[in-house]
Structure 1
Amino acid sequence: MSIITLTTDFGTKDHFVGAIKGTIYSELPDARIVDITHEISPFNITETAYILRNAYKSFPEGSIHIIGVDSELNDDNKHIAIKLDNHYFICPDNGVISLLASEVKPEKIVEINIHDRFESVFPVLDVFVKVACHISRGGTLEVIGKIIPDYKKLVEVQPTISADKSTISGNIIYIDNYGNTISNINQKLFQEIGRGRDFEVIANNYSFKKIYNKYSDFIDFSLPKEQRQKDGTKLALFNSANYLEIAVFRSNLNTVGGASTLLGLKYRKVITIKFN
């Protein structure tokens, strides 16, 4: 039986997550449910996309991913089910799938049309769960919806490149638990556009002329400990998801602070890479 994952902005205080799991178990007693997170910032689509993009590939092929962020059904926000990279995603058509599908083309997309069977004010529970259980039983997407050619694109999750390819402009799309700030500029794009040229990363009023591959790369371990760089050092790196991150070494939001606060890098703040 396929694993069913849950990614929502519901938090854990209220009854929502428990009700979703209970309904799945009522339909599929042997279901395997994994919480990716329920702590998405409310209605934050880009944060959802970033987290899910970096989580789903760790699951077996055939896994079913329910995305419950900004999921209310209306004329601008349809519900879709997608087969992508041999995984299934059940979500609102609000652009959340854009980052996941930026490098892998969906194999099949359907607009879910089971809503006419009942009224729902809790679509993740009443609709998404039913679709997930249908797929888990081996059902096809065509049964629960009509095939559509495309999904809504979320432009803000994609960086832009100047006409002369001298600049990449991106935005902060996620702030992690340590206050480190992640942009939508990935290492592949940096290498394709930069082609080995010198560069400068500009983030607010700060600039970086080197990008590290891990947090401690900037430390000279040949020096005595008292002479090495200290906690709180600002740096740029490509993180484990291969996205450009502006970080503070060993940041602690309760003491030293993080890049989001110390450098004023809030959500959607512009990050620019200029090549020479």
Structure 2
Amino acid sequence: MPIITLTTDFGEKDHFVGAVKGAIYTEMEDAKIVDISHSISPFHLHEAAYIIQNAYKSFPQGSIHVIGVDSELNPENKHIAVLMDGHYFVCANNGIISMLTSEIRPEKIVEINIHDRIISNFPVLDVFVKVASHIARGGTLEVIGKNITEIKELTGIRPAVSNQESQISGTVIYIDNYGNVISNITKKLFEEVGRGREFVINARTVKFSKIHSHYSNAINFDFAPEKREEDGKKLALWNSSNYLELAIYKSSSKTVGSASSLFGLDYRDAILVNFIS
């Protein structure tokens, strides 16, 4: 039985998550359900895309990923099921799939057309559960939708490179639980454009000229613990997903503060990498 994952902006207070899980178990008592996150900021597609993009690859091929973010059905927000990279995604055609497919093209896309058989004002519960359960039982996408080739595109998540390749202009796409600031600049793009040149990263009030591989790389462990610069140490690094991240070592909003609060950075704020020829 394939795993069904859930990623939503429902939060944990209300009944929504429990109801969706209950509906899946009603369809399939032996279902395997994994919560990726229910703490996506409301309607925040870029945040959801970042989390899903960095989580789904850890699941087995054939897993089914239900995305309950901005999923209300309307003429401009149809529902789709997508086979991509050996995984299935059930979501609204709101642009989120385009943010997962910058380097991987979908193998198949269908526009879900079972709505006339389901009375629904809660599409994740009623429609997405039916579709995910159908796929989990070995059903084909053509049974629940019509083939389409185009999906809504959202390209704002991608960084821009200057004509002279002297600058990468990125933005903040995610702030994690520690207050660390993640940009949309990948290590691959940085190395392709930078070609080993020196650089300066500018983000509002801070500058960096070195990028670490691990948080602890910023600490000089040759010094005795009481002489180290640790609390509040700022650093830039390639995070576990190989995105450029600006961080505070062992950050805490209650003590040393976080990168977001101390650097004054929030979603969509600019992060610039200037290369020195």
Whether the 8 Å CA contact 1:49–1:98 is kept in 2: the answer is no
Quote the Cα distance in structure 1 between the aligned partners of 2:230 and 2:137. 54
The Cα offsets for residues 8-41 of structure 1, whole Å up to 9 and x where unpaired, read as 0001111111111111111101000001110111
Whether the 8 Å CA contact 1:78–1:111 is kept in 2: the answer is yes
Q: 2:222: which partner in 1?
A: 222
Helix, strand or coil at the partner of 1:109: strand
Name whichever of 218-227 and 200-209 sits farther off. Answer: 218-227
Helix, strand or coil at the partner of 1:188: helix
Q: 1:104: which partner in 2?
A: 104
TM-score, structure 2 normalization: 0.97
Q: 1:47: which partner in 2?
A: 47
Quote the Cα distance in structure 1 between the aligned partners of 2:81 and 2:94. 12
Instruction: Say what the alpha-carbon RMSD is for the aligned residues.
Output: 1.0
Matched, 1:202 2:202: yes
Q: Which amino acid aligns with 1:28?
A: M
Whether the 8 Å CA contact 1:259–1:265 is kept in 2: the answer is yes
State the 1:230 CA deviation: 2.0
State the 1:3 CA deviation: 0.4
Which residues of structure 1 form unaligned runs of 5+? none
Quote the Cα distance in structure 1 between the aligned partners of 2:254 and 2:97. 34
The Cα offsets for residues 120-148 of structure 1, whole Å up to 9 and x where unpaired, read as 21000111000000000111111111111
Q: 2:234: which partner in 1?
A: 234
State the 1:96 CA deviation: 1.1
State the 1:275 CA deviation: 0.8
Quote the Cα distance in structure 1 between the aligned partners of 2:76 and 2:204. 34
Q: Which amino acid aligns with 2:56?
A: Y
Q: Which amino acid aligns with 2:182?
A: I
Name whichever of 233-242 and 113-122 sits farther off. Answer: 113-122
Quote the Cα distance in structure 1 between the aligned partners of 2:8 and 2:241. 21
Q: 2:86: which partner in 1?
A: 86
Whether the 8 Å CA contact 2:118–2:127 is kept in 1: the answer is no
Q: Which amino acid aligns with 1:208?
A: F
Helix, strand or coil at the partner of 1:46: helix
Quote the Cα distance in structure 1 between the aligned partners of 2:185 and 2:150. 24
Which residues of structure 2 form unaligned runs of 5+? none
Q: 2:171: which partner in 1?
A: 171
The alignment-based identity, stated in percent, is 63
Q: 1:19: which partner in 2?
A: 19
Whether the 8 Å CA contact 1:199–1:273 is kept in 2: the answer is yes
TM-score, structure 1 normalization: 0.98
Q: Which amino acid aligns with 1:140?
A: T
